[in-house]
Amino acid sequence: MFFFTYLARELRRRLRQAVFIALGLAVGVGLVVTVTAASAGVNNAQNGVLKGLYGVGTDVTVTGAAPSPPKSGGNASSGDRTSIGIGPNGAEMCTNGKCHSLKNGYTIDNLGSQSYTPIAASAVSKIAALHDVTAAAGGLLLTDNQTTISQNPSPPTSFTVDGTDIGNLKLGPVSNAAITAGRTFEPSDADKNVALVDKNYAASNGLKSGGTITIAGVKFTIIGLVTQSEGTSPPNVYIPLARAQALAQQGLGGGSSLKGDVNTIYVTAASAADISAVQSEIAKILPSATITTPSSLASQVTGSVSSAAKLANDLGKWLSVLVLIAAFVVAVLLTMAAVSRRVREFGTLKALGWRGRRIIAQVMGESAVVGVLGAAIGVGLGFAGAAIINAIAPKLSATLTQPTGLHVVGPGGSVNPTTSHTVSVPMSAAVSGTAILAAVLLAVAGGLLAGIFGSWRIGKLRPADALSKVG
């Protein structure tokens, strides 16, 4: 084909210029690919944090409202009121005013819901029945506090316990956990004293699969160890929801039983587009509950992951656009200059009977090849950029500040303390197929744009004028 022969020869003649234009486009495209990859990496990291917090597949999380501050002198709840203090005979525990002394070595073990007020478990089935909801599961996020009476008091120990709906393990924090030893929950475990323990927590507390752990004064058999994403701030222990409901109380101790209650509901929407509709439907069922969606949670995430996302989304994208525009302008100017130098050649071809369209196609073909070359180099540079980011980028930190649900009354009045989870997440810049396709299209578009500007002159070129420039 004469077209390709001519094209190849012409590109070979202008090899340096062609490579220069291709490199210009490649730098622009490479930057776009790198920034896109970095942006995707940051978003993945952010999503990883969010998924870890509420489990894979959870679109909406419903939590009971933060508990009200206890009324002075009154019962914190409808149940018995228990307090522990130091009496004339040493440590004593009082229930509804009746006190008895506690011996040294006695361990007070309380499993309670400190952060959220309870939600009736029946709400879970109501939410599951909503039109845009695919699945819903209830859970109890609890804290087990253990205090041992001693003449040399030591600070109480505590660990987090998740009462897990073992009929729906695909929702909630446990969905994000992978078994490393033993087994996971089975339907027959619903009413058994069995537990899954976080591998790291188990290691630091000498626990192992097959051993036992005491929760609310009851021994639970550890049936498995789980590993969970670093960015999840995961529960330390999982127990069947029914057992958690049977053992837990509302508040720090002495509160009402949580039988028939949950304090968290994990919901999967039919589609991402349905999330806001689901949110408002749930708000009608549970007006006082806190409803959290990925977007509302993302807005609460701070730290370097958030800064990196802003950097990639704002500065990175603008920088890419500017470099791309500069590359396009350089390509256009160089192509126009090249066409100017070939006026005589094109005039001759017109004298030979070549139509303007054929000459334009020739120039456009050359520009398209340069664009494709730019795309190929640009994609390579993009991969290299992503690899460099992965090699040198520090781990990103994500901090999520959430209310503890506690109320502290001090001299300055009542405050609601918050708790911050700061997690370190690796950033993995990944070049997607879409980014590659976009890069190729951008570079080819840049090449063709240059070709169009160059061709515009050829279209206007009258053969006699072109030849008169010969000399």
Partner 1 sequence: MYELTGVSKVYRTGSRTVSALSDVDLTIADGEWLAVRGRTGHGKSTLLNLLGGLDRPTSGQLKLDGRDLGRMRDAELTRLRATAIGFIFQTFNLVPTLSAAENVAAALVPSGTGHKERGRRVAAALDSVGLTDRSRHLPYQLSGGQQQRVAIARALVKEPSVLLADEPTGNLDEETREEIIGLMEKLWRERGLTLILVSHDGAVVRRAQRVGVMSRGRITFKT
Interface positions with partner 1 (CB under 8 A):
2, 5-6, 9-10, 12-13, 344-345, 347-355, 358, 462-464, 467-468, 470-471
Least separation in angstroms between residue 444's CB and partner 1 is: 23
* Residues with Cβ within 8 Å of residue 221, at least 6 apart in sequence: 192, 193, 194, 195, 210, 211, 212
Nearer to partner 1, 270 or 467 (CB): 467
Nearer to partner 1, 28 or 347 (CB): 347
Q: Are strands 249-250 and 107-113 parallel, antiparallel or unpaired?
A: parallel
Exposed/middle/buried for residue 38 (C-beta within 10 Å: 0-12, 13-18, 19+) = buried
Q: Which of 48, 111, 409, 59 is nearest to 259 (CA)?
A: 111
Nearer to partner 1, 344 or 407 (CB): 344
Nearer to partner 1, 13 or 219 (CB): 13
Least separation in angstroms between residue 458's CB and partner 1 is: 14
Longest Cα–Cα distance in the chain: 119
Least separation in angstroms between residue 353's CB and partner 1 is: 2
Please give the distance of CA 425 from its chain centroid, rounded to a whole number: 10
Q: Which of 359, 437, 390 is nearest to 33 (CA)?
A: 437
Residue 136 has a CB neighbour count (10 Å cut-off) of 25
Nearer to partner 1, 364 or 400 (CB): 364
Least separation in angstroms between residue 15's CB and partner 1 is: 11
Least separation in angstroms between residue 361's CB and partner 1 is: 11
Nearer to partner 1, 120 or 351 (CB): 351
Nearer to partner 1, 426 or 463 (CB): 463
Least separation in angstroms between residue 374's CB and partner 1 is: 21
Least separation in angstroms between residue 357's CB and partner 1 is: 10
Nearer to partner 1, 6 or 383 (CB): 6
Least separation in angstroms between residue 313's CB and partner 1 is: 46
